[in-house]
Amino acid sequence: MRWPARHPVITGTLALVLVVGSVWVVRLVALARSVDDAAAYWSKPRGQPGGLTYVALGDSAAQGIGASRPANGYVGVLARRLAAKTGRPVQIINLSRSGARIRDVLDTQLPALAALKQKPDLVTVAIGGNDVRAFGPARFAADSAALASALPAGTYVADVPYFMHGRWERDADEAARVLTDDVRRAGLRVVPLHQALEDEGWRAMLTQFAADWFHPNDRGHRVWANAFWTAMAADPVTEQP
């Protein structure tokens, strides 16, 4: 039995595919344009001075790419939680850059951190996802060790995000273990982001990612924030004065 070309099921399915595809393309274009918007947003300190200073290092995730607006990325979420728990104003200095790798943190972001006039009360780093996309084990190991030795004491360092499947996940798992070992040896604070994202399971692909299925959306950024916040639970900086 052959259905006619104009059968309502076929026509309706094609229409649905076109609508969904069009929406996806629009969202993908908006995501690409958001990179410049986020960079402009974080080009100056955000929040309120006179209280805690929070410095964020990292890549596009720290920029809030994928979130509905930069302030809804995990960095903004953490700052709001910190202000709510301590009752103190929080100012964010976001030195991250979209597309950054570990070497970019070492060469650009850490010198910018060292040049700040005020000493930060909190420093977070989430980096390595872009390194995994062009993974070289020896290079990553060298850069990871250099990063761990260069970060200031007390820094919270997320290991590499979970890539879900295939070669990328095998590389990400190896990178996460290398970075975790280096961070612990340096006496810094590990944020087990890889495990936190893996625990979310495959359903996260439908609920926690932006249109490119790489960057987290608002819900995904809250998962990232939760991983950091859990690691910070016993930190005196998160307590009320």
Are 162 and 216 contacting, i.e. CB atoms less than 8 angstroms apart? no
- CA-based R_g, the chain, Å: 20
Backbone φ and ψ for 125, nearest 5 degrees, come out as: -135, 130
Annotated domain spans of the chain: 36-238
Per-residue pLDDT of the chain (241 residues; tens, 9 = 90+): 454 555 554 554 444 444 434 544 555 566 667 789 999 999 999 999 999 999 999 999 999 999 999 999 999 999 999 999 999 999 999 999 999 999 999 999 999 999 999 899 999 999 999 999 889 999 999 999 999 999 999 999 999 999 988 899 999 999 999 999 999 999 999 999 999 999 999 888 889 887 787 889 999 999 999 999 999 988 888 876 6
> Residue 172 CB: number of other CB atoms within 10 A?
26
> Residue 168 CB: number of other CB atoms within 10 A?
15
| pTM, to two decimals | 0.87
CATH of domain 36-238: 3.40.50.1110
Residue-wise over 173-212: b if at least 16 C-beta within 10 A, else e? bbbbebbbbbbeebebbbbbbbebbbebeeebeeebbbbe
β-pairing, 122-126 vs 90-94, is unpaired
